[in-house]
Structure 1
Amino acid sequence: MAPISKIFSLLQLLSTGHKAVNSFAGKTWMLESLAVDSSQRGKNYGSKMINDCLLPYIKENKPQKRTEYFITFTNTERNRRFYSKNGFFEFDSSVIKDGNQNIGNWSFKMDIN
């Protein structure tokens, strides 16, 4: 079990990471987390989940006449490249201080109209 201080630190990191994506007015769909087992990476499972499952679901369930965005954020360069490759546009970047460590934070959006 993780110590409460590590859990609290993670929650603070997530809260800070959300700041840019929380600035959107109107309806948004948010991808909080997408994980692929390290032994299965490189097989396009993450891309398939976004393009074959999540985007069709969002498009079927969004109001027709309203601008909506699919948003997410990441703290790794690998995921930064992944989201760009999958049609997301990077709209914010910042550095989050976590103790003595600086952590990159990149926010992405995709217009789903």
Structure 2
Amino acid sequence: MKVLLHRREDRGMRLAEFASRCVRRGEVHELVTTDHRETAAGSVIDRVGFLGFIEIGNAGVLDRGDRVVVGDTVVGTVLGFDACHFPNHYNILIRTERTCTGPELGLAPGQYVLFEQ
């Protein structure tokens, strides 16, 4: 994990139309927290906190509503995906009560990230 420490109130991410995305082993994706609740395709996501980049260890499918756990911390649930940087990486948007950053959650390189149905 590459830990990120910034937040934005005007990010302008757009929620992708897909409620799930396949990920492959070795891909790198970004984890982003948001307090937005809207799930309609194209919804603008402005309030965000950046957790960091992760490398996918096992291929699978990530779904809206999957619980996101980093180490022993339940971060939130997958709200959806922003593809503004794709094919480089997806922004995996995580619904939280308030935006938070990697250091605020005590995240550190080497921690495991788990997505649970």
TM-score (norm 2): 0.26
Greater C-alpha Rg: 1
Structure number having the greater helix percentage: 1
TM-score (norm 1): 0.27
Structure number having the greater strand percentage: 2
